[in-house]
Amino acid sequence: MTTTRLIVWRHGNTDWNAGHRVQGQTDVPLNDLGRQQAVDAAELLVRLRPDVLVSSDLVRASDTAAALAALTGLSPSYDKRLRERYFGQWQGLTMAEVAEQRPDEHARWTAGADVIGGDVETLDDLGERVADGLQAAADLVPAGGTVVVATHGAAARSGVGHLLGWPREQLRSLRALQNCHWVELSHDGSRGWQLAAYNVGPFSERPVPPPV
């Protein structure tokens, strides 16, 4: 049976990641650590012989994808649907500042519920948007091919969950995806999408807060 492989790859570290600052769709670049993480991860991902490379158009994802493009010769395509969750008025704040300034919204976020207020994108909208982008990327390869998608932490988790048809409660059982780690999904005609591996990467990191 022919199986298609989809690799959903989180971008490398940024200064805002390091400072626990909410990025959302703010276009924050990789830092030196993030650029090295992208190179290290690309040296593993190239062994999967990807056929197609797709990225969020935000620079921290596109520069991560560029590290793999340099090894494969693939030209990435870019899809706005793969952007991080839009965090509205949270963007630019540290999580400590969100908790202090917007305690009711922060409490709902911590509980895994939709944030009411602050113009934060709903989880259903996020999951549907990113899953559409992931499916479109997978459709670019023939059956049996491999596609790598460079995206973002919260986007990856919600998009993968939506693609798999998981309820929100099940999705919360997954820990945060580390910088430059990835999810591997497989697809065939009889079983549809299946989770093959989660939080795979070239190095170990200390646990981090949920990516934003």
Tell me the CB-side half-sphere exposure of residue 178, using CA atoms within 13 A.
15
21 among the known binding-site residues? no
122 among the known binding-site residues? no
11 among the known binding-site residues? yes
**Angle, CA 209 vertex, CA 150 and CA 185 arms, to 5°:** 35
Query: d(Cα 206, Cα 178) in Å, to the nearest integer?
Result: 9
Catalytic residues, by residue number, are 11, 84
Query: d(Cα 79, Cα 68) in Å, to the nearest integer?
Result: 17
188 among the known binding-site residues? no
Three-state DSSP state, 210: coil
Query: d(Cα 179, Cα 187) in Å, to the nearest integer?
Result: 25
15 among the known binding-site residues? yes
191 among the known binding-site residues? no
Q: Cα separations (Å) of 120 from 21, 40, 90, 99, 139?
A: 15, 33, 8, 15, 30
17 among the known binding-site residues? yes
Contact predicate 211/180, CB 8 Å: no
Three-state DSSP state, 124: helix
Say what angle helices 59-72 and 32-45 make with each other, to 10 degrees. Answer: 40
60 among the known binding-site residues? yes
9 among the known binding-site residues? no
Binding residues for substrate: 10-17, 60
